[in-house]
A = this chain, B = another copy of it.
Amino acid sequence: MRIFRVNVERRFSDLDMLQHINNVVYNDYLQEGRIRMMRKLREDFAEPYFPQVLVRQEINYRKTLVLGPAPLVVEAWISSVGRTSYEVGLRILDDDGSLAADAISIMVCFDPDTQKPVPIPADYRAALVAAMEGD
């Protein structure tokens, strides 16, 4: 399993009135991890952009995050690959390496005309399987 790691900087505006990073913003960090993993996968496999959409997300909040100058780390990996959908595993780590949240995102490929699910494009599917099985 190949793990994609990206640094994400905290912003003052990520805080809520409790002086914590708001729970909604964790989802923004997950989005950064997911999008940058996909960008990397497409770069490696020369797959052009195609329509896909997030259909389900589960997140466990493990730790309160506060503002600080050191970036967070978001880890993302491919945890399973189906015919029209695949699952992304995600973790948010604080700058001391402690777990702040774990999550899964389920992505579905679709036809923009019919809005129905379609098979994952073959090249991208191969890249997803390679990322799932590789190291």
Chain A interface residues toward B at CB < 8 A: 7-9, 11-13, 15-19, 22-24, 27-28, 31-32, 35-36, 39, 53-61, 64, 67, 69
Contacts and interface: CB of A to CB of B under 8 A. Distances in A.
Given A57-B58, A59-B57, A64-B53, A11 B28 contact: yes
A58 B58 contact: yes
B11 A32 contact: yes
A16 B54 CA distance: 13
Contact of A23 (B19, B27, B36, B39): B27
Contacts of A12: 16-17, 31-32, 35
A35 B23 CA distance: 13
A19 B20 CA distance: 12
17 contacts: A7-B9, A8-B11, A12-B35, A13-B24, A15-B16, A15-B17, A16-B16, A16-B17, A17-B67, A23-B27, A23-B31, A24-B24, A36-B69, A39-B69, A53-B64, A55-B60, A58-B58
